[in-house]
């Protein structure tokens, strides 16, 4: 089958809605667009509808209304044609504990009718190497740590070349080194042309590895776009380091700086909107008022700032 045109989104939903029995609205008229070649981060607090959305995209759950197109075709109707072109790790690894890591992959590969049995062993070895499990390939999967199980499930998703890789919390259970390795793998896959759709509760992870992101809350899409654009949508904050925090707060307040917060010898605040702020004049006003300024500057807004501004939620946003 031909690939969708280069300009066509890899994932596109229109008014996608899922209402469960009893009236619970899990996803509410979602319009999501995932560009081809992107690493797309899917963020949302607990119960925001992320997992339900992923399950609808993969044809595991039928929408109540609306449409979901994956690789240019409507799901779940075209699942038989679409899913062989998609690798997925959803809701944790489903493995055979009594089999070794290698035997798990051999069984997964044998279940793929498009997989050439003559090259199966080479495919399995390559997938194990990509996720750093070659040395543990002969171990029973039940003896694997959670992080190793995550790696093995990811290897299963990478047995064949994929146009789209859907990962639900791919670094769950990994140590910091393992997280870095998975981030590097995601970047490498994207460089090879695979679009990666990545659900994560780790905002720092999304900011480091993703080119685009979407923020969900209570089943609704709050924002989507490039990570840079989403981060810049949050206001920059001014940071002043001084021993004279009380006087600094007074002067900054007089010059329109809002949401002032003091932590030991540091004062931060939200710069006023509207006309550009003359930071040099603001610094001079502090010094003129006798404030001993040791450090002064505007801090770049982060994706976390944007997320908190959009959802009102803190950093722990698993869902």
- As annotated, the residues of the chain forming the CATH 3.30.70.100 domain(s) are 235-300
Does pLDDT of 285 surpass 90?
yes
Q: What percent of the chain has pLDDT over 70?
A: 89
98-144 pLDDT, tens per residue?
999 999 999 999 998 889 999 999 999 999 998 889 999 999 999 99
Q: Tell me which of 57-71, 100-114, 192-206 is least confident.
A: 192-206
- As annotated, the residues of the chain forming the CATH 3.40.50.300 domain(s) are 9-230
* From the candidate CATH numbers 3.40.190.10, 3.40.50.1220, 3.40.50.300, 3.90.850.10, the one assigned to the domain spanning 9-230: 3.40.50.300
237-259 pLDDT, tens per residue?
789 999 999 999 999 999 988 88
Integer CA distances (angstroms), 236 to 225, 246, 266, 300, in order: 19, 22, 16, 6
Contact 195, 167 (CB under 8 A): no
- pLDDT bucket at 1, cuts 50 / 70 / 90: very low
Q: Please give the Cα distance from 146 to 289 (Å, whole number).
A: 57
Q: Please give the Cα distance from 89 to 102 (Å, whole number).
A: 18
Does pLDDT of 319 surpass 60?
no
Integer CA distances (angstroms), 305 to 3, 184, 233, 234, in order: 37, 25, 9, 6
- Which whole number is the average pLDDT over 147-158? 89
Q: Please give the Cα distance from 187 to 198 (Å, whole number).
A: 12
- Which whole number is the average pLDDT over 88-95? 80
- pLDDT bucket at 273, cuts 50 / 70 / 90: low
Say if pTM beats, i.e. exceeds, 0.85: no
Domain 235-300 in CATH 3.40.50.300: no
- Which whole number is the average pLDDT over 139-163? 91
- Which whole number is the average pLDDT over 51-62? 94
290: which 2 tokens? 């006798």
Does pLDDT of 202 surpass 80?
no
Helix H or strand E encompassing 188: helix 176-191
pLDDT at residue 227, rounded to an integer: 87
158 versus 276: which is more confidently predicted? 158
- Which whole number is the average pLDDT over 210-239? 85
Does pLDDT of 294 surpass 50?
yes
- pLDDT bucket at 316, cuts 50 / 70 / 90: very low
Nearest to 224 by CA among 34, 50, 68, 11: 34
């Amino acid at each position: 089958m031909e690939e969708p045109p280069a300009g066509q989104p890899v994932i596109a939903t229109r008014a996608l809605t899922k209402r469960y029995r009893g009236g619970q609205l899990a996803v509410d008229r979602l319009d999501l667009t995932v560009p081809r070649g992107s690493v797309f981060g899917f963020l949302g607090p607990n119960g925001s509808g992320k997992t339900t959305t992923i399950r609808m995209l993969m044809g595991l759950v039928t929408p109540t209304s609306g449409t979901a197109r994956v690789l240019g075709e409507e799901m779940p109707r075209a699942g038989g044609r679409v899913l062989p072109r998609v690798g997925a790790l959803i809701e944790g690894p489903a493995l055979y504990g009594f089999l070794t890591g290698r035997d798990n992959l051999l069984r997964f590969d044998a279940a793929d009718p498009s997989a050439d049995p003559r090259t199966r062993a080479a495919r399995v070895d390559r997938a194990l190497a990509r996720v750093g499990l070659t040395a543990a390939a002969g171990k029973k999967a039940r003896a694997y740590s959670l992080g190793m199980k995550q790696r093995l499930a990811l290897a299963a998703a990478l047995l064949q070349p994929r146009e789209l890789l859907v990962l639900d919390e791919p670094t769950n259970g990994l140590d910091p080194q393992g997280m870095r390795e998975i981030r590097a793998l995601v970047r490498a896959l994207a460089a090879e042309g695979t679009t990666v759709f990545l659900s994560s509760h780790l905002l720092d992870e999304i900011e480091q590895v993703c080119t685009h992101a979407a923020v969900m809350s209570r089943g609704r899409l709050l924002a989507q776009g490039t990570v840079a654009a989403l981060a810049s949508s949050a206001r920059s904050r001014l940071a002043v380091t001084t021993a004279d925090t009380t006087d600094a707060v007074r002067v900054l307040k007089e010059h329109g700086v809002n949401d002032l917060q003091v932590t030991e010898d540091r004062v931060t605040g939200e710069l006023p909107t509207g006309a550009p702020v003359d930071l040099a004049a603001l610094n001079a006003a502090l010094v003129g008022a006798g404030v001993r300024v040791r450090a002064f500057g505007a801090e770049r807004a982060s994706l976390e700032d944007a997320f908190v501004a959009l959802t009102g939620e803190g950093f722990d946003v698993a869902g």
